[in-house]
Chain A
Amino acid sequence: MTKEGCLSRGLRSGLCHRLPHSLLWSSTLHSRACFLHIFRPGPIKRAAHKESESEAKADGETASDSESRVEAATLPPSADDTPEVLNRALSNLSSRWKNWWVRGILTLAMIAFFFIIIYLGPMVLMMIVMCVQIKCFHEIITIGYNVYHSYDLPWFRTLSWYFLLCVNYFFYGETVTDYFFTLVQREEPLRILSKYHRFISFTLYLTGFCMFVLSLVKKHYRLQFYMFGWTHVTLLIVVTQSHLVIHNLFEGMIWFIVPISCVICNDIMAYMFGFFFGRTPLIKLSPKKTWEGFIGGFFATVVFGLLLSYVMSGYRCFVCPVEYNNDTNSFTVDCEPSGLFRLQEYNIPGVIQSIIGWKTVRMYPFQIHSIALSTFASLIGPFGGFFASGFKRAFKIKDFANTIPGHGGIMDRFDCQYLMATFVNVYIASFIRGPNPSKLVQQFLTLRPDQQLHIFNTLKSHLTDKGMLTAATEDK
């Protein structure tokens, strides 16, 4: 049985990984060496695998034994989740078109879902972000378990989820304290929780840390440290990003929608441009990406961002920061739009004047910022995708999971968003708004009197220097 023969047979068996496990075994009883060379069973088949192991033990080796010796072992994704109804509807099409249709239908379903959620409001959006975060965490941790065969490590599953809970508690506590200050002050237990928030979060984390140290088992130190490191890096990636997304959301829904749509648009546009015009490969990591797709996607995304921000800047519900209204006890997005979202006249530079024939154009200043956001989404966003591709190749997995039929896991959809959320947050903090004035006033009120006086005097001299403060305004 040559290697090439193994390969082809293995590939054929691979395509049928949905088949019952016994079928797979019987087909390879004749070529056990091949099977063992190509496939390492995933978690779902592991249970069934163990029963069949008894037959193989006679030979002194089982499938998983040689897994590690295998050069091309892959972790096949979990069973195909395509709903039956779709399967039947598309059953008469050929396999390639069927894949296209499944992807297309699911894409439209996800986009429609996105619109519905936007309609439902910021609170629901926040919940969705949190669910996506938990699912991403779950996917990456499951990969870690599979890589290290550490599904049965004592305590480890509990500890991973516990750390996720702690870090989420810490971040949500900070957000809630900032934005719902009045609500928090009213309720006594919430007030105490928010005053000692950092201390409580630290204590919770410490408990997890001590539990980890106490759970170290003699023969599995390295694995346990690996999983500890894996959990922390995953938390760093997944949880911080999702909280920055929520911060952006609270700044105004437009800061959430425009970046995410730019990344999605860039994905789709780069794919289309690559499909029609693609010739020069972009990077060895992802052989399907091309320079034509990259550049075409860049221009298309910038144009898309301009149009989208023009459309959205007109509506208050997208533009206003989310606030919690004490009287109505709900979230409101009602405000006077800031200067960023009011139409202004811009003079067109001479170059474009001759082309378009207009002297000035009316735009929202936000559209200029959207150019920066779209540029980042199309130039640097793909690096997040390459990072995820490299990760998948490193651990020899095809997709992060098989949650969305035709698309892979949730993480597959969100890998390019990874850097976008941080960028938008840093951008807002650096260029759009300074620190939150009401928060500053709160902080000021907790200082000591002599510190307050010192700050007041410094501010006074600063304003006087700037000419903002004169005797006239002082007396008001």
Chain B
Amino acid sequence: MWELRHRGGGGPGPGGEAAAPPREGEAAGGDHETESTSDKETDIDDRYGDLDSRTDSDIPEIPPSLDRTPEILKKALSGLSSRWKNWWIRGILTLTMISLFFLIIYMGSFMLMLLVLSIQVKCFHEIITIGYRVYHSYDLPWFRTLSWYFLLCVNYFFYGETVADYFATFVQREEQLQFLIRYHRFISFALYLAGFCMFVLSLVKKHYRLQFYMFAWTHVTLLITVTQSHLVIQNLFEGMIWFLVPISSVICNDIAAYIFGFFFGRTPLIKLSPKKTWEGFIGGFFSTVIFGFIAAYLLSKYQYFVCPVEYRSDVNSFVTECEPSELFQLQSYSLPPFLKAVLRRESVSMYPFQIHSIALSTFASLIGPFGGFFASGFKRAFKIKDFANTIPGHGGIMDRFDCQYLMATFVHVYITSFIRGPNPSKVLQQLLVLQPEQQLNIYKTLKTHLIEKGILQPTLKV
């Protein structure tokens, strides 16, 4: 009877709950002997590849990895009942993560960059492991190597672009680095091609479909995790505040929506996540906006957070020291009349950045949850409870970062559209790559322009 279900996955889906007879046995028995022509494949591909057309309920659940709660915590909380114990574990881990976050912020932007990189690698690992389990393809020839190789290639490409932009002065000094930077795209492409050719050469007769699935799975994962993490790093280099405020807004929205839902929750929000409620959603929205507003106010004062990260060749380290841009200088805004009556003040002095933070918080609370729903749908589709069991009580790293997924892209697009124009160091770097005649032409054009604008005083001497 199970056959009727999977015909046309979009059909009314009758009787999805009836147990499916183990089709592997039937297929394996009947078809093994007649394998002769090169075009036919044995049932391995069909057995697992056919997972495609079956509806969700046919797929057996993938058991999560073992519980990794440390022994210490278990002993300390052994006296409590199971429900409170779970709460305590979650609470302690939350506080640990938050303090780790503060510690890393204190240590500076370079450490933050390393942290982002390790999170990205771990997320990639988690998603790829799910892929292996779904397709039982852990033993596919070459595949684990190839997945990590592709991760390396794409990271090399992106980091090369970032490093070249921001560390132009550092790079100019070293000859080998110059060569690498100049032909960076070509080298990255050659590396990727090598991986592609290895993939094609590694195609094994009986496992074509699985191998293509894993190839696509790897690429989609790379698209999701690696591009997001690089946008995060680009935001970070713009100024740590562009990294901190969005991430804290998302975390605050998570927590506030949970608390509001806990106390006031009644109307369910979406079938995907039955625990989310409209009250939590709206309450979370307002608290996140207020939180973002206050956090922006607090952070805008410090040069450490506000200045773009630069590499100074003299000190050979990263510095965040600058003249804060107007975005981070207090300005007086006259209040609209009804607020005047409420607050009884004529005007209020705010940082312009706080207005941007309202936009960021709004996105974090309205669209950010869709990233969470996407991850929930993904977990339900593949019948896993958590992405992994890295963090006791919370699940995998990916579970913590699923809502951040869209936020980083939004912040990056926001910055490029509304805040700043192109990156000055990138413009400079591209200028230096041009042909000398072109450089001279541009020099003359720029000089005329700058003199017109009064930025440059015309001089008679060089």
A positions within 8 Å CB-CB of B: 3, 61-62, 64-66, 68-72, 147-154, 195-196, 198-199, 202, 206, 209-210, 212-214, 216, 218-226, 229-230, 232-233, 236, 283-285, 287, 380, 383, 386-387, 390-391, 393-396, 419, 422-423, 426-427, 429-431, 434-435, 437, 440-441, 443-447, 449, 451-456, 458-460, 462-464, 466, 468-471, 473-476
Chain A residues closer than 8 Å to B409, beta-carbon distance: 202
| Min CB gap A264→B, angstroms | 21
Chain B residues closer than 8 Å to A394, beta-carbon distance: 45, 49, 208-209, 211-212
Complex Cα distance, B8 from A149, in Å, reads 5
Highest count of chain B CB atoms <10 Å: which of A394, A395, A434: A394
The answer to whether A468 and B436 have CB atoms under 8 Å apart is yes
Give the 4 A-B residue pairs with the shortest CB-CB distance, closest first. Answer: A152-B10, A65-B3, A221-B381, A394-B208
Chain A residues closer than 8 Å to B462, beta-carbon distance: 464, 469-471, 474
The answer to whether B424 and A454 have CB atoms under 8 Å apart is yes
Chain A residues closer than 8 Å to B63, beta-carbon distance: none
The answer to whether B197 and A213 have CB atoms under 8 Å apart is no
Complex Cα distance, B270 from A218, in Å, reads 11
B100 at the interface (CB under 8 A from A): no
The answer to whether B3 and A390 have CB atoms under 8 Å apart is no
Considering the complex, which residues of chain B in the window 393-420 have a beta carbon less than 8 Å from any beta carbon of chain A? 406, 409-410, 413-414, 416-418
B447 at the interface (CB under 8 A from A): yes
The answer to whether B216 and A233 have CB atoms under 8 Å apart is yes
Complex Cα distance, B448 from A445, in Å, reads 12
The answer to whether A437 and B442 have CB atoms under 8 Å apart is yes
Chain B residues closer than 8 Å to A466, beta-carbon distance: 436
Complex Cα distance, B452 from A449, in Å, reads 12
Instruction: Report the number of A-B residue pairs with Cβ-Cβ less than 8 Å.
Output: 258
B positions within 8 Å CB-CB of A: 3-4, 6-11, 13, 16, 23, 26-27, 31, 34, 38-43, 45-46, 49-57, 59, 182-183, 185-186, 189, 193, 196-197, 199-201, 203, 205, 208-209, 211-212, 216-217, 219-220, 223, 270-272, 367, 370, 373-374, 377-378, 380-382, 406, 409-410, 413-414, 416-418, 421-422, 424, 427-428, 430-436, 438-447, 449-450, 453, 455-456, 460-462
The answer to whether B271 and A72 have CB atoms under 8 Å apart is no
Chain B residues closer than 8 Å to A449, beta-carbon distance: 453, 455
The answer to whether A452 and B189 have CB atoms under 8 Å apart is no
Chain A residues closer than 8 Å to B209, beta-carbon distance: 394-395
Chain A residues closer than 8 Å to B453, beta-carbon distance: 449
Highest count of chain B CB atoms <10 Å: which of A147, A419, A440, A449: A440
Chain B residues closer than 8 Å to A391, beta-carbon distance: 208, 212
The answer to whether B197 and A383 have CB atoms under 8 Å apart is yes
The answer to whether B10 and A199 have CB atoms under 8 Å apart is no
- Beyond A441-B445, A446-B421, 19 additional pairs, beta carbon < 8 A: A3-B34, A61-B3, A68-B3, A71-B31, A150-B10, A196-B417, A198-B413, A199-B413, A213-B370, A221-B381, A222-B51, A222-B382, A224-B377, A380-B197, A390-B211, A444-B427, A445-B449, A456-B447, A459-B428
| Min CB gap B147→A, angstroms | 15
Complex Cα distance, B23 from A437, in Å, reads 63
| Min CB gap B66→A, angstroms | 25
Looking across the interface, which residue of chain B has its beta carbon closest to that of A201? Answer: B413
| Min CB gap A454→B, angstroms | 7
The answer to whether A434 and B13 have CB atoms under 8 Å apart is no
Chain A residues closer than 8 Å to B413, beta-carbon distance: 198-199, 202
Looking across the interface, which residue of chain A has its beta carbon closest to that of B5? Answer: A219
Chain A residues closer than 8 Å to B23, beta-carbon distance: 68-69
Q: List 22 A-B contacts (CB under 8 A).
A: A70-B46, A150-B10, A199-B414, A209-B406, A219-B55, A222-B56, A224-B381, A225-B378, A225-B382, A230-B216, A233-B216, A387-B200, A426-B186, A429-B186, A434-B434, A437-B442, A440-B430, A443-B421, A445-B449, A449-B453, A456-B446, A459-B439
Choose one: A206, A214, A396, A455; the contact of B431 (CB below 8 Å).
A455
| Min CB gap A97→B, angstroms | 25
Q: Do A441 and B59 contact each other (CB < 8 Å), given the known contacts A233-B219, A394-B212?
A: no
Complex Cα distance, B45 from A391, in Å, reads 13
| Min CB gap A177→B, angstroms | 13
The answer to whether A463 and B439 have CB atoms under 8 Å apart is yes
The answer to whether B427 and A455 have CB atoms under 8 Å apart is yes
Q: Do A236 and B441 contact each other (CB < 8 Å), given the known contacts A148-B9, A199-B413?
A: no
Chain B residues closer than 8 Å to A454, beta-carbon distance: 424
Complex Cα distance, B369 from A269, in Å, reads 55
| Min CB gap B183→A, angstroms | 5
The answer to whether A447 and B427 have CB atoms under 8 Å apart is yes
The answer to whether B442 and A441 have CB atoms under 8 Å apart is yes
Chain A residues closer than 8 Å to B182, beta-carbon distance: 430
Choose one: B205, B373, B438; the contact of A437 (CB below 8 Å).
B438
Chain B residues closer than 8 Å to A66, beta-carbon distance: 3
Chain B residues closer than 8 Å to A65, beta-carbon distance: 3-4, 7
Looking across the interface, which residue of chain A has its beta carbon closest to that of B424? Answer: A451
The answer to whether B203 and A390 have CB atoms under 8 Å apart is yes
Chain B residues closer than 8 Å to A434, beta-carbon distance: 430, 433-435, 438
| Min CB gap A443→B, angstroms | 4
The answer to whether B200 and A383 have CB atoms under 8 Å apart is yes
Choose one: A206, A423, A431, A437; the contact of B434 (CB below 8 Å).
A437
The answer to whether B438 and A72 have CB atoms under 8 Å apart is no
The answer to whether A198 and B417 have CB atoms under 8 Å apart is yes
| Min CB gap A2→B, angstroms | 9
Complex Cα distance, B414 from A284, in Å, reads 50
| Min CB gap A225→B, angstroms | 5
The answer to whether A455 and B428 have CB atoms under 8 Å apart is yes
Choose one: A221, A387, A430; the contact of B185 (CB below 8 Å).
A430
